């Protein structure tokens, strides 16, 4: 690998931490209130996509169409449920090896940035206690398009002043892998090799990430 990488761009959910249960609980509560079916299978389709796109998936089987104003109100309600849940999150919610991966990046002099589709990422990073290990947190709310568009990874690379082609990007969702590739990053898929087949490399989990191995 001849490329010299200067930064590592991390997705959050499913890479550094797993708040899938918290998201599921919040979406399930909203679905129950609306009288809509929502299960783990449908929840899988929400991974890596924006809140509004997730809501559209939730409402696919709704008996009536919802206006944009109603959708925004529902998304805000769901977000309130989720924020209440993550207020209870502690650093114990970090996935095994997550802190060590960030510390290894810093020890090698690599810049670190967060490229998460979640607008709650700054709050979650604070609750997880890894803010000091992040040089930049891209603002998902400022991205014109969500994953699989490249916006969030381009913002993260710009935030650490490193060209995308000099960035490693880690994501656990197919949409995230496509987003990072479109941005021009070298993409490390975290998780299922079949789902993340478009990635340049695959690791089973963040504990298997050794940034030094990509610098040789």
Catalytically active residues are 11, 13
Torsion of CA 200, 201, 206, 208, to 10 degrees: -160
Q: How far apart are CA 76 and CA 199, in angstroms?
A: 33
Asked if omega into 148 is within 30° of 0 (cis), the reply is: yes
Ligand-binding site membership of 47 (annotated): yes
Ligand-binding site membership of 119 (annotated): yes
Ligand-binding site membership of 19 (annotated): no
Ligand-binding site membership of 120 (annotated): yes
Ligand-binding site membership of 200 (annotated): no
Ligand-binding site membership of 12 (annotated): yes
Q: How far apart are CA 202 and CA 188, in angstroms?
A: 5
The residues with which 94 forms a beta bridge, in sequence order, are 17
Ligand-binding site membership of 151 (annotated): no
Contact 23, 101 (CB under 8 A): no
Ligand-binding site membership of 6 (annotated): no
Q: How far apart are CA 106 and CA 180, in angstroms?
A: 21
Give the residue numbers of the binding site for substrate.
11-13, 27, 46-51, 54, 78, 116-120, 147
Give the residue numbers of the binding site.
11-13, 27, 46-51, 54, 78, 116-120, 147, 172
Give the residue numbers of the binding site for Mg(2+).
11, 13, 172
């Amino acid at each position: 690998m001849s490329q010299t990488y200067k930064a590592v761009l991390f997705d959050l959910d499913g890479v550094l931490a797993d708040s899938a249960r918290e998201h599921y609980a919040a979406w399930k509560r909203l679905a129950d209130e609306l009288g809509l079916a929502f299960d783990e299978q449908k929840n899988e389709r929400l991974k890596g996509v924006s809140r509004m796109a997730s809501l559209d998936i939730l409402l696919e089987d709704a008996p009536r169409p919802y206006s944009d104003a109603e959708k925004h109100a529902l998304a805000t309600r769901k977000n309130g449920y989720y924020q209440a849940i993550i207020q209870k999150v502690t650093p114990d919610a970090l996935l095994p090896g997550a802190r060590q991966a960030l510390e290894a990046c810093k020890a090698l002099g690599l810049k670190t940035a967060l490229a998460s589709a979640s607008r709650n990422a700054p709050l979650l990073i604070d609750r997880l206690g890894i803010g000091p290990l992040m040089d930049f947190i891209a603002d998902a709310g400022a991205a014109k398009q969500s994953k699989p568009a490249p916006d969030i990874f381009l913002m993260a690379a710009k935030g650490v002043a490193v060209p995308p082609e000099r960035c490693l990007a880690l994501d656990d969702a197919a949409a995230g892998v496509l987003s990072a590739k479109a941005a021009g990053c070298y993409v490390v898929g975290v998780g299922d090799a079949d789902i993340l087949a478009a990635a340049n490399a695959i690791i089973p989990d963040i504990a298997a990430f050794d940034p030094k191995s990509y610098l040789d």
